[in-house]
Structure 1
Amino acid sequence: MVLGERRPAPHSDVVTAAGVDHVRLSYLYADEGDVEGLESLLHLDPQVGAPPEVAHGGRPEVLQVLAPVGAAPGRHLLSRVIAEGDCVAAVGRLTTARAEVEFADIFTIGPDGLLAGCRRFYSATSP
């Protein structure tokens, strides 16, 4: 934010709650391989990033973070979901046939409650 720049009004509690529901649903749809379900949760032009990459835009990139094409099917087990305003953080464990990793996803919620952005982080100490 630039000095003097006006920050948009914060989302209402109702929009934030809808965003939390959409984040939780995104993992259910990802685990079931329901790409159409995932797409229904995305804002028109979502943004995505995964360190050390720079954020990119577009629905295909968000889908690639949440349900990578060609990846082994897995199961997300959320241990914590934290929300404030237009941000939802989800922390948990992803288990596939090949690996088990801890992750943290940081979602940006659009004014309509849909997923407008996603950044994924993996634990360096996962088993």
Structure 2
Amino acid sequence: MNNVLPNNPKCDICQHIPSHAEVEILHTSERLPKEVDQLEIIGGNHADSTLGQLRKCPKCGTYYLWFHDHDSESGTGYGYTDEGIERILPDQALECVDANLKQIQTFKRKEAYKEETDRLVKEREAIEVYGQA
């Protein structure tokens, strides 16, 4: 597997996405680049920044972790909504897949996550064989 992230990806999607970015979207006009919305959602828990939602560029196969975190401060403060994106290596994507598959196994209604589980398993197999799908 390639263990080096490109500093300046040549892909016409990835070249607009920084290697790491976080924005607070509730109280500011900051947003992640619109190209983030073009990334394919593989699966994962976007609200858990330790797991993240695994996304992949449909053009070049670069992996990203995306998260969306909203906290209302239990009504005691203004709260916040953060979004973030981070470019990751295939071995990190594999760790994300495994962690999310493990989390799904703890859910009472696992069958509700069948499509996501199938996507995660397919991606896991592709990473193990090719380094990326």
TM range (shorter): under 0.3
- Rg comparison, structure with higher value: 2
Q: TM-score of the superposition, structure 2-length normalised?
A: 0.26
* Structure (1 or 2) with the greater helix fraction: 2
Q: TM-score of the superposition, structure 1-length normalised?
A: 0.27
* Structure (1 or 2) with the greater strand fraction: 1
